Structure 1
Amino acid sequence: MKRMASLPTGSDRLLEIRTEIIDVVIKSKGKQTASVWQKMTGSSSLKVVARNLEQVSIPTLEMTEQYVDHRGISVHDYQIKPLFFEQTDYIITIQARDRQALEFHSNSGLIEERVSRVLDDNPFLLSGVINFGNSVGFADLSIFADGKEVLSVRLEVYPTKISYKDDYQEMMADINNMVSESVLDFMKKTYQVFVPDHKRNDVPAVFFTILQAIYDKYLRAAKRILAVPHHKLMTEHEVLPHYKAARIDTSSAKWLQKHPEQVRRADVGIQAEKVLALRKQITYDTQENRLVKFMLKATVRRIDDFTRRYIQSRQQPDEQVLAGASKMSRELQRLLGASWLSEVSDYSASKSMSLVFGMAPGYRELYKYYLMLQNGISVGGDIFHMSVRDTAQLYEYWCFIKLYDILRNHYTLKSPDIIKVDRRGVTIDLVKGKLSRVTFLNTKTGERIYLAYNPSEIATQTVSQRPDNVLELEKKGSGSAYKYVFDVKYRIEMNPDGQFYPDSRPGPKVDDINTMHRYRDAIVYENPESRFTFEKTMFGAYILFPYADEEEYKDHRFYKSIETVNIGGLPFLLSATSLVTDLLEELVSDSPESAFERASLPAGIEERLKSVDWDKREVLIGFVPDDMHRKLFLNNRMYFTRRFDTINLPVRYVAL
């Protein structure tokens, strides 16, 4: 039986699978897949589970295979060059050899709906065009013949605009690390007295994320307690033969008075056959150690609960996550079973806590870390999932997180409004479509800096606008707010042509640049002091897009346009943050005059300003002595005064 083969070079067929029952072919649609595939490095995973598998054909010989046969079902794990990518169309065809009725299922409803019968009255042939959208990671395809599963394929979908093994994973780590750091820093300052409470917040994924962040310290504190435990000296009495009794006290005498049958006359004096002996020994069964045992057991239970829920909630759980959870659970159980803790009684809450937890090394630290885990974080949105598969959504979150991080490293964080506190605990409130706002302070100038994510719909005189991120700056000496749009677009023009694209280098899409013009020019507010006068508040608008080569991009037309019209694009990835950082520093350090000069002015403004005769006085400031006169002047649309210089006529306006 042949199980592995290589498809011809240049073929549009990416995967062929043949079994005794069905044939499956997946083809690329168009030339884009081939060009992306040629540039892609690294390896991806392909898993095929089937009965009576005859052949798997892949367009590369650079692959390895692990083969397992279990109860007649063969499992083949391949490590191959990436074949499947986001936002790409693929044609899939499934045909039954012996006219069995076929069914197609997938863990993605979008894909499942796209594969159907070619002819309504022919259930033996299925076909369709599938597209994974922005979802990356593993996709499961299952095929049933006459109601029985005969083939299961697990594909690994790669992003095209970012590196899957580097950028994607590090973006996930960046988001988790920043949120964890912010929350843990908050909780370190606010943790409270421990009271066992079963009504606490219970978000397993977030509990596990916090535990990952503090686990090393948590384990180190527990081991320190086991090495130098708190103990007390306990006095015990036990009835022993007289020759085994080492120490006695007044209780021994009282016991003999109650048990005279144990006393007899000896050759010399009186002798007791048995006596109540005194014994002092060290015990670790203290209230403090019972609480330590309770905390460790509770942590193990929550790890196991997280593992169970995580497996149930995902078609393809992350093996690294499961391995990490299993390792933590085993280590803590080993501490519980292979130490004096196994002899300690169960914990029961007491009215007061010993000072051991406030003073003793190890106890104090373990207590604090456990409180962090107990308080937990209630996830107000979808930011803290263990696996975000939509790369566009992930990139949008990461851009805000990174802007937040850059500003936090340069200025003082005053109000992290993405972290909210209510009676449920601490909430990470970063949700697509919901406003989140963070405040910083520039300590050098005393000016405040605001970064808003999804600042809701901004109503305008025409069409409401919804930018992703808005930076708002205070400027000393100006009462106006200076705002700048940093909009996230998970799109890039990778193959520019000179006819329709204004540059020969990769950059943002032209439609997205047009959107920046709309944001800047459409978002206006009515001046409350001068009715019917509308003013622009957006002084600049920039696209953040996933591109890594900052040096090459510096010569791009859409980068140079930032200097001239304050609209353009900026590459923004883990390895490309310097251009965005530099622009943020420039905007914050601008004086009101410099910030105003960045704005584009209407044509003819110079002539208009030159034509104004500043020596001409057309407005008379009129004094109003009381409310009666004010009503008189307004009702009659007139004003009178005894003192007036006719040289200043004509007066066109009177300001009361």
Structure 2
Amino acid sequence: MELLEFNIDDIKVKLASKVKGVLFDCEDHLEFGEERYQLVEGNFYQYELPEGYQLDDRHELVETNAFHTNQGRITPNIYVGQVSIPVLDAEETKVAELKLEVRSIKANYRSDYRFMLETITEKCTDLLLQSNSPVTQHFDIDYEKDSSSTYQRFSFIKSVIDNEEFDEAIQRILTSPVTKWIEKTEVVNTQRIKRLGSFEIRQLTTGSQRTSLPSSHHLHSVGLTSIPNKISSYSKTDSVDTPENRFVKHALETYLKFCSDIQSKASVGSRLYLEAKAVTQKLESYLHNTIFKGISRPTSLKLNSPILQRKEGYRELLKSWLVFDLAAKLTWQGGDDVYRAGKRDVATLYEYWLFFTLLDLFKDAFEIEPKETSKLIQKTNDGLGLQLKQGQHTALKGVFNTSTRELNVSFNYNKSFSGKSEYPEGGSWTKSMRPDYTLSFWPKSITKVEEAERLEQVVHIHFDAKYKVLHLNQIIDEEEETSRSFKNADILKMHAYKDAIRRTGGAYVLYPGTESMKEKGFHEIIPGLGAFPVRPSRTNTGIADLKAFILEVINHFVNRASQREFLSNKVYDIYRDKPSELNEPIPEKYGDKNIIPDETFVLVGFYRSAEHYNWIKKGQYNFRMGSGNGSLILEQEVIGAKYLLLHTHKEKKSGDLWKIVSKGPKVYSRLNLEKKGYPKATDEKDYEKHYLVIEIEKVTDKEFVGREWDYTKLSNYSEGNAKAYPFTTTLTELMKVIMKPTQ
């Protein structure tokens, strides 16, 4: 049992948890703009107040004890951030407020949160600096209009000026500032002058308050008998009052004014107030350094200075200055998901951060044009809005080019796959699903993805962000799940994406860990399932595994002979027409392969006489070659036929079914056929003809033995002389004309 006791307005509060290491009294809370007393998400906390007091159980995290109203339970679940719970007296009047901070289960969530928000700010300002972005209009912050918008703006600015890089830059400037030599005039004792210039020499003859020189002094030789006691002299000294240092001072003062204004407008004790106060104090400490006392105000800002652009410290400060104004203009509706009402939802922020991380990765691999990315920033009534929000679809299109293939590529955030759409439209077979990120590929010749869906020519690869997964075994571990682990649910969700969303090639978890998992469905990289580590870090994101996977996927799509390509074409062929119906019994296999009746072809052939039939019974059948009537055209259905149905004169039905056992037809001349026992020709011109010969054997399958078929009802059958011409049909069609036994 872990216990935390403290007072709020002389009211004693007790918090207890059965789990150790989840209750904190943080003395450094102001540095991070947090509340002093802190909990960890995903746990239950018992509380107790003095008799006569209770927590307002209308708060979503509070459960009051039915018998003792001064006791109860606080249940943060997955909420992370600031919690403010009213404390009521016996008359249910608010007398105080219990303020708590709910931490993420991730130990390093503070640094992750700061880093990811900083990165998003950098990416947004990069977008704003693009030539086609709407950055020309000036916007002023209306502090009275929308407090959440103000906090968003401050969060962006805070990520620019309240980070390690900025702190290190200021320290470099303070310890090694740029200086310049300046000359200053001072009155000094003449005897202490070591070097005399023309200015000092002139004063030797004109200066007042003089002292006589001894008669033996060598200056008597030049007519100088006395020298002044003191003269004015120039000296050089180091000065920090340079244009670059004036810029540094001006930038810090501008940042300080912004944060001070935010603090003065914020409610005392609110998260915005505490964070603004912490940044204000840090900036004030910088400006109190003695170096700034000797620096005057700038008359102009020379931003093209080589020192500002190249020297360490100054370079980073210039960068912060360039993005400062843009960041102050930026609003983000999606930011409400991260920090509205005191939230600090680092898991949702991870999802947004991954969007930009994946965008950078895909921009390197695919031609995503700047005009596509510039759509992420749009003008709004109160500034410039980042068009990225959880649950709101965002799509960026590009092109993948190689010497052998061109593909359209679409990178989607929160793309919804409707469960109401019917095949062949895109969507889900069951319930609507919305993966965090979807990468879609389809041929360049097909302009719209909707058309590619109908033609079975698009492939989707899905990714889901899981910040709270610490280790890979939390995804794949078979053991019983605890309240802190997510385990099988995440990987099962990937199975759901893969199996439910039409034309899905793979589904993968992205999490801030170290191990990757990549399971292939068959012999190729997709379809598949897996997990890849992507950590919020500037130097060690671990994205290498994901990048290698994307390169494998690219190589896979170049391969036109892949199994996936074959399968998609087959699916289109299978489902584009109304499905056949066959209820008659047929054999399960032909050799070692299953019979697919729609793809199993039957040759229907004619024999002229009993002599001809006797030759056929030896295991061979022939078709005439050439361009004349009755010649067999070598189509795929002919070459791949599995069965032969024979008929002769004056028949309307036949049960004479044979199995074709040769791998393909062979070519024989008439003379060669006669040597094998074929009936002799009655016309000399027949010896000029050639024939295709196949090897056959009588069927023994019980499903065919003793059955007869009315071949005259087959679609390719022709009356008259043409009825002796060979033609093909499918096994499905043949079984539909089977003769039913008479009763």
Give the conservation status (yes or no) of the 8 Å contact 2:399–2:408.
Answer: yes
Q: Shift of residue 138 of structure 1?
A: 5.2
Alpha-carbon separation, structure 1, partners of 2:435 and 2:55: 40
Aligned 8 A contact 1:543 1:570 in 2 = yes
Would you say 1:305 and 2:261 are equivalent positions? yes
Residue 601 of structure 1, CA deviation? 5.6
Which amino acid in structure 2 is aligned with residue 300 of structure 1?
A: L
Query: Once the two structures are superposed, what CA deviation does each residue of 1:499-533 show, in whole Å capped at 9, x if it has no partner?
Result: xxxxxx8463546633442222xxxxxxxxxxxxx
Partner residue in 1 for 2:377: 420
Letter in 2 for 1:136: V
Does structure 2 retain, via aligned residues, the 8 Å contact 1:48–1:153? no
Aligned equivalents of 2:546 and 2:411: distance in 1?
14
- TM-score w.r.t. the length of structure 1 is 0.54
CA positional deviation for 1:453: 0.7
Q: 1:440 to 1:170 in 2, by over 3 A?
A: farther
Structure 1 residues 287-306: aligned runs within 5 Å: 294-306=250-262
C-alpha spacing 1:218/1:426, structure 2 compared with 1 (3 Å): farther
Is the CA contact 1:295–1:370 (under 8 Å) kept in the aligned structure 2?
A: yes
Q: Identify which of 165, 180, 183 aligns with 2:107.
A: 165
Provide the residue aligned with 2:76 in structure 1.
132
Match of 2:412 in 1: 452
What CA distance in whole angstroms lies between the structure 2 residues aligned with 1:153 and 1:200? 29
> Per the alignment, do residues 118 and 67 of structure 1 end up closer, same or farther by CA in structure 2, a change over 3 Å counting?
same
Alignment partner for residue 332 of structure 2, among 356, 366, 380? 380
- Relative distance call for 1:322 and 1:593 in structure 2 (3 A) is farther
**Are residues 390 and 358 of structure 1, via their aligned partners in 2, closer, same or farther at CA, if it must alter by over 3 Å?**
closer
User: 1:210 matched to which residue of 2?
Assistant: 160
Shift of 1:134: 2.0
CA distance in 2, matches of 1:62, 1:465: 37
Task: Give, in whole Å, the separation in 2 of the partners of 1:440 and 1:173.
Answer: 31
CA 603–517 in structure 1, closer or farther in 2 if over 3 Å, else same: same
Whether the aligned pair in 1 keeps the contact of 2:23 and 2:40 (CA below 8 Å) is: no
On the 8 A contact 1:473/1:482 being kept in 2, the answer is yes
Distance 1:489 1:294, change over 3 A: closer
Q: Structure 1 residues 414 and 64 mapped into 2: Cα distance closer, same or farther (>3 Å)?
A: closer
Amino acid at match of 2:121: S
Offset, 1:426: 5.5
CA distance, structure 1, for counterparts of residue 257 and residue 299 of structure 2: 18
Q: Secondary structure at the match of 1:432?
A: coil
**What is residue 700 of structure 2 aligned with on the other side?**
none
Conservation of the 8 A alpha-carbon contact between 2:179 and 2:242: no
Are the counterparts in 1 of residues 440 and 458 from structure 2 also a CA contact under 8 Å? yes
Structure 2: which amino acid aligns with 1:179? I
1:540 partner amino acid = G
Q: Which residue number corresponds to residue 118 of structure 1?
A: 66
Distance in 2 between residues matched to 1:361 and 1:549, nearest whole Å: 40
Counterpart-to-counterpart distance in 2, 1:220 and 1:62:
36
Q: CA deviation at 1:204?
A: 2.2
Secondary structure in structure 2 of the residue aligned to 1:118: coil
**Distance (Å, rounded) in 2 between the aligned partners of 1:452 and 1:547:** 21
Match of 2:285 in 1: 330
2:259 aligned counterpart, secondary structure: helix
SS at match of 2:282: helix
CA distance in 1: counterparts of 2:443 and 2:136, whole angstroms: 48
Report the Cα distance in structure 2 between the residues aligned to 1:476 and 1:380, rounded to whole angstroms: 34
Q: C-alpha deviations, 1:192-250, integer Å up to 9, x for none?
A: 9x9997737982221222234673687489769974469999xxxxxxxxxxxx9xxxx
User: Are the equivalent residues in 1 in contact too, given 2:442–2:459 (CA < 8 A)?
Assistant: no
Equivalent pair of 1:472/1:484 in contact (CA under 8 Å): yes
The corresponding residue for 1:542 is: 507
Asked if 1:104 is matched to 2:55, the reply is: yes
For 2:100 and 2:531, how far apart are their aligned partners in 1? 36
CA distance in structure 2 between the partners assigned to 1:224 and 1:84 by the alignment: 40
1:436 aligns with 2:394: yes
> Are the structure 2 counterparts of residues 543 and 105 from structure 1 closer, same or farther at C-alpha, using a change threshold of 3 Å?
farther
2:449 is the counterpart of 1:483: no
Q: AA paired with 1:570?
A: A
In the alignment, structure 1 residue 406 sits paired with structure 2 residue 361: yes
Task: Describe how 1:50-449 pairs up with structure 2 within 5 A.
Answer: 51=10, 84-86=40-42, 90=44, 92=46, 94=48, 97=51, 100=52, 102-105=53-56, 109-111=59-61, 114-116=62-64, 118=66, 125=69, 130-137=74-81, 139=83, 141=85, 143-146=87-90, 147=93, 152=98, 154=100, 156-159=102-105, 164-166=106-108, 168-169=109-110, 171-173=112-114, 175-186=116-127, 199=140, 203-212=153-162, 215=166, 219=170, 227-228=178-179, 294-307=250-263, 314-315=270-271, 323=278, 326-334=281-289, 337-338=292-293, 340-341=294-295, 344=296, 356-359=302-305, 361-362=307-308, 369-376=320-327, 378-383=330-335, 389-390=344-345, 392-408=347-363, 410=365, 414-415=369-370, 416-417=373-374, 419-420=376-377, 422=379, 427-439=385-397, 449=409
The 5-angstrom pairing of residues 499-518 of structure 1 reads 506=488, 508=490, 510=492, 513-518=495-500
Alignment partners' CA distance in 2, 1:151 and 1:93: 14
Change (3 A) 1:116 1:596: same
Give the drift of 1:298: 1.9
Matching residue of 1:20: none
Deviation at 1:431, TM superposition (A): 1.0
For 1:396, the aligned partner's letter is: E
Q: Cα offset for 1:434?
A: 2.4
Q: What's the Cα RMSD here?
A: 6.0
Amino acid at match of 2:307: P
The offset of 1:374, in angstroms, is 1.9
1:519 maps onto 2:501 in alignment: yes
For the residue of structure 2 that corresponds to 1:467, the secondary structure is coil
1:584 is matched with: 550
**What letter matches 1:131 in structure 2?**
T
1:566 maps to 2:532: no
Question: How many Å separate the matches in 1 of 2:507 and 2:284?
Answer: 47
Describe the SS at the equivalent of 1:542.
strand
Q: How far did residue 419 of structure 1 move?
A: 4.0
Q: Is the 8 A contact 1:507 1:569 kept in 2?
A: no
User: Residues 372-419 of structure 1: CA distance to partner in whole angstroms, max 9, x if unpaired?
Assistant: 312325123234957863355334334434433433465565333464
**Rg larger in structure:** 2
Structure 2 Cα separation of the partners of residues 51 and 451 of structure 1: 56
Distance 1:420 1:545, change over 3 A: closer
How many pairs align? 476
Q: Which amino acid aligns with 1:165?
A: A
Q: Distance in 2 between the 1:154 and 1:472 partners?
A: 44
Percent identity at matched positions?
A: 13
Aligned-partner residue type, residue 299 of structure 1: Y
Q: Tell me if the contact between 1:435 and 1:452 (Cα under 8 Å) persists in the aligned partners.
A: yes
**Structure-2 change in CA distance of 1:600 and 1:383 (3 Å):** farther
Residues 569/363 of structure 1: CA separation in 2 closer, same or farther (3 Å cut):
closer
**Aligned partners of 2:436 and 2:462 also within 8 Å:** yes
Query: By how many angstroms is 1:152 displaced?
Result: 4.4
Query: Is 1:472 aligned to 2:440, yes or no?
Result: yes
Aligned residue type for 2:260:
D
Corresponding residue for 1:38?
Answer: none
Instruction: Tell me the distance in 1 between the aligned counterparts of 2:462 and 2:77.
Output: 24
- The verdict on how the C-alpha distance between 1:394 and 1:600 changes in structure 2, with shifts beyond 3 A counting, is farther
- In structure 2, the residue matched to 1:266 is none
Q: CA deviation at 1:589?
A: 2.2
Deviation at 1:452, TM superposition (A): 1.3
CA offsets 1:88-122 (integer angstroms, 9 cap, x no match): 5x37465754xx2x33149x9421xx434727xxx
Indicate conservation of the 8 Å contact 2:511/2:532, yes or no: yes
TM-score norm. by structure 2 comes to: 0.49
Q: 1:171 to 1:418 in 2, by over 3 A?
A: farther
Residue type of the alignment partner of 1:451: F
- Cα deviation for residue 471 of structure 1 reads 0.5
Contact 1:485 1:541 in 2 (8 A): yes
CA distance in 1, matches of 2:24, 2:107: 20
1:282-334 Cα offsets, whole Å, 9 max, x none, are 99999999877654432221133345567758459887x86555323421354
Distance 1:144 1:406, change over 3 A: same
Does the aligned pair in 1 maintain the 2:139–2:383 contact within 8 Å?
Answer: no
The CA deviation at 1:458 is: 5.2
Residue 52 of structure 1, CA deviation:
7.8
